[in-house]
Structure 1
Amino acid sequence: MKLQFFLLFLFSIFSYAQHTTKAVVLDSADNSPLEFVGIYNSIDHTMTNADGRFQFSSSSDSIIVYSVGYDKLITTSQKVKDTIYLNKSVLELNEVTVTNEKTLWQKVGDSVRSNYPTYPYKEKFLLRGVLRYNGEITRIQDLQGKLERRTLLYTKEIDPDKKDFKVELTNMRKVGLVKDEKQVYFIFETFYQLFMNFTPLNATGDAFDLTESTFENGNKINLSFHTKPEFDNEEVKGHYIINTKNNALESISMNFNFKNKPYKKDGETRFRTVSVEKEIYLSKSSKNNKYHIASAKYDVKVELTDEQQSYTSYYDVSFILTTSDNEGDFEVKKNVSTSKDLFKINYPYDESYWNAQNQLLLTDEMVDFIEKVQDPNSEFKIRSNIKN
């Protein structure tokens, strides 16, 4: 019995041992920090922050470090040093030609149901929102929880509905200024709006010029799109990365620039959206070979002025989403509205959770901001659930 207990004890130790790795990822050419680099293995996933830093914990020792346009690094936690340098891909995009988008895009469309879950499923998520006013951070909010989706992609048979997402919030921290110097309150997006904004879009219609090029020895296709010159008031450009083996979309980048867009009115305030940028990275689950959103980023720039246009200010808001345990077997108990301004959501702060959280590290700039506005002598009017 003692031997059996000892063996079980050893098995327990080895089964639950965690390998934790901390490092910074830099471009090998100019030593600049690389943001949004995927750090993952078959079990866990995280990403670098704007400083290029990450902390990765997993029961598996293997680590893959990858960002589109750079060579993939496959290593182990024991071999990782304090700094990781990524080399830009040696295989340049080649043979750029005008694509027959109907053929290529038809292959992608025909493979949707085999590549993506178009049925209800559950996953866990971490969502970060950061607001800047004229370049300075004025709000930070992290939300962690469980999400039940009706579908990942919308097809001709599936129309969006307000009830497509059910959220159980399990952790939150927020701190930020309530209003700016002009007494303007910036409305954050809702869960529903954000999850819909992270849904891949089709930019291959008649309004776009398309080019395709191959890389990674022909295993990937870069399908680039750009609005035609006659659409001079709105420029949309970006690319899809398509896996040639299964015709799956693995990465999507979209940039919207709005020119001469009319202002909307809110009392004395005038505002308009200047630009929108989206990045979506999908990874294939080993459970069922279906692709899920591993991480995504959504940036919006908004211009503000008054009726007399006596000033011009800019808000930059950025949301980052990372998911885990896709198609997991757990219950999602709805405890928060998916149609409420995120910054107005109330939930208690759990210091122990956020001290241990490593899915997305705070940057040095964020830490400085939190300390500044949490100062009891601060003159700022703030909204926060973080207690001093």
Structure 2
Amino acid sequence: MKPSFFLFFLLSFIAYTQQTIDAVIVDSANKTPLEFVGIYNSINHTITNEDGRFQFSSNTDSIIVYRVGYDKLTTTFQKVKDTIYLNKSVLKLNEVTVTNEKTLWQKVGDSIRSNYPIYPYKEKFLLRGVLRYNGEITRIQDLQGKLERRTLLYTKEIDPDKKDFKVELTNMRKVGLVKDENDVYFIFESFNSLFMNLIPLNATGDDFDLTESSFDNGKKISINFQSKPEIKDEDHSGHYIINTEDYAMERFKMTAKLYDKPFKKGGKHIKFRTVSYDKEISLSKSSNTNKYYIASARYDVKVELTDEENSFSSFYDVSFILTTSDNEGDFEIKKNVSTSKDLFKINYPYDQRYWYAQNQLLLTDEMLDFIKKVQDPNSEFKIKSNIKN
């Protein structure tokens, strides 16, 4: 009896011991790092950063690696190598312009209420903001907390409102230069404006040319859109990826280029204009509710800056990354932050234990170098930070 009991105890210990992996995911064809790849199982979830790197811990041995547009990989901790290679899904391209896009899009519209939570719900989030000035990082901010949404998508019956989001901030770290060399402070988005920007748009109207491509044995269709040439001074392109089994939108990607737009006054003889912006939103289906939620999203904006005499031209690049978890979770939210305030002006204490332990979105090597550089006591930079060593 004793050996049997010992064996049972040993197997139980092995089954519930937490395992951790740290690896990089790249495109198998061109070997470039892949961002926003989901690494998950029935209990835990994380995503890759810009370097394609991730850290994943779980008591369960199974691992699924997936990004829309790539073949899904199912593996285990023991089989994972330092580098994981993902293969792009084979696309079957249509050579003609779509003729039935309204029918397909109507099916998507008819399925909205069955596929998405068009009602208030709660979730947890991690939000990262990174600002670059002429290509160099000047600001990093990570915010973690709880979010209550009025709805995921907006319909004809639901108009956006400034009270559509309620946030309880639970962790934050930030470090960055206060102003640039021209004494300019770059205003960050607010929670409200950012969450509104990270909602898929309808780019299937008369102003766009549409084509289709299918993959995954026809189970998924990519609706590719391109703004028509007669739309002056702007170019919009991108795609939706539709799951044909339930006509749910799983991914939305848009790139917008703005040409020769007029400058706006920014104070202190400074003027600015938006040059381009990109949105990428991935949605995943919950096995608990059978609804789709935003799993990860990215919003990038490029802004040109000059003065009244056009004596210089500088560029700001700001990127926001959002990941969510515990969608429709049953937890209390105590609002403790304004959703209309500049994110970088929000104050919240730094919790070293949390940020050392979290692996939902790792800092890139470039970010780590920046934080080390500006935190140097001998640094000449004037910084604003809540990070305490």
**TM-score calculated relative to the size of structure 1:** 0.95
Deviations for 1:239-290, whole angstroms, at most 9, x for unmatched residues?
Answer: 0000001000000001111011110012211100000100000000011110
Q: Which residues of 2 match residues 137-216 of structure 1 at below 5 A?
A: 137-216=137-216
- Say if 1:15 and 1:73 are closer, same or farther in 2 by CA, change over 3 A: closer
Q: How many residues align?
A: 382
Q: Are residue 223 (structure 1) and residue 223 (structure 2) matched?
A: yes
Separation in 2, partners of 1:298, 1:224: 19
1:370 match? 371
- Say if 1:16 and 1:348 are closer, same or farther in 2 by CA, change over 3 A: farther
Q: CA deviation at 1:356?
A: 0.4
Aligned partners of 1:96 and 1:213 also within 8 Å: no
Higher mean displacement: 57-66 or 141-150: 57-66
- Say if 1:322 and 1:10 are closer, same or farther in 2 by CA, change over 3 A: farther
1:81 match? 81
Aligned partners of 2:20 and 2:57 also within 8 Å: yes
Aligned partners of 1:35 and 1:50 also within 8 Å: yes
Separation in 2, partners of 1:286, 1:59: 20
Classify the secondary structure of the residue corresponding to 1:310: coil
Separation in 2, partners of 1:116, 1:200: 12
Deviations for 1:113-154, whole angstroms, at most 9, x for unmatched residues?
Answer: 000000111100000000000000000000000001111000
2:387 match? 386
Aligned partners of 2:93 and 2:212 also within 8 Å: no
Classify the secondary structure of the residue corresponding to 2:78: coil
Separation in 2, partners of 1:193, 1:12: 48
Aligned partners of 1:45 and 1:294 also within 8 Å: no
1:341 match? 342
Classify the secondary structure of the residue corresponding to 1:153: coil
Higher mean displacement: 227-236 or 63-72: 63-72
Separation in 1, partners of 2:187, 2:42: 38
Q: CA deviation at 1:57?
A: 2.0
Classify the secondary structure of the residue corresponding to 1:98: coil
1:249 match? 249
Separation in 1, partners of 2:218, 2:265: 50
Higher mean displacement: 9-18 or 188-197: 9-18
1:114 match? 114
Classify the secondary structure of the residue corresponding to 2:194: helix
Aligned partners of 2:124 and 2:147 also within 8 Å: yes
Q: CA deviation at 1:70?
A: 2.3
2:329 match? 328
- Say if 1:12 and 1:330 are closer, same or farther in 2 by CA, change over 3 A: farther
Where does the alignment leave 5 or more consecutive residues of structure 1 unmatched? 1-5
Q: CA deviation at 1:15?
A: 8.3
Separation in 2, partners of 1:320, 1:46: 13
Aligned partners of 1:238 and 1:254 also within 8 Å: yes
Where does the alignment leave 5 or more consecutive residues of structure 2 unmatched? 1-5
Classify the secondary structure of the residue corresponding to 2:196: helix
Higher mean displacement: 53-62 or 242-251: 53-62
Aligned partners of 1:233 and 1:258 also within 8 Å: yes
Classify the secondary structure of the residue corresponding to 1:117: coil
Separation in 2, partners of 1:31, 1:333: 45
Separation in 1, partners of 2:139, 2:56: 26
Separation in 2, partners of 1:153, 1:13: 44
Q: CA deviation at 1:16?
A: 5.9
2:94 match? 95
Aligned partners of 1:97 and 1:213 also within 8 Å: no
Q: For 2:88, give the aligned amino acid.
A: K
Classify the secondary structure of the residue corresponding to 1:225: strand
Identity %: 76
2:240 match? 240
Separation in 1, partners of 2:118, 2:155: 8
Q: CA deviation at 1:87?
A: 2.0
Q: CA deviation at 1:14?
A: 7.5
2:3 match? none
Separation in 2, partners of 1:149, 1:60: 31
Separation in 2, partners of 1:106, 1:279: 22
Separation in 2, partners of 1:206, 1:123: 36
Deviations for 1:315-372, whole angstroms, at most 9, x for unmatched residues?
Answer: 0000000001111110011000000000000000000000001000000110000000
Deviations for 1:28-78, whole angstroms, at most 9, x for unmatched residues?
Answer: 223222222222223332211111100112333221212233222111122
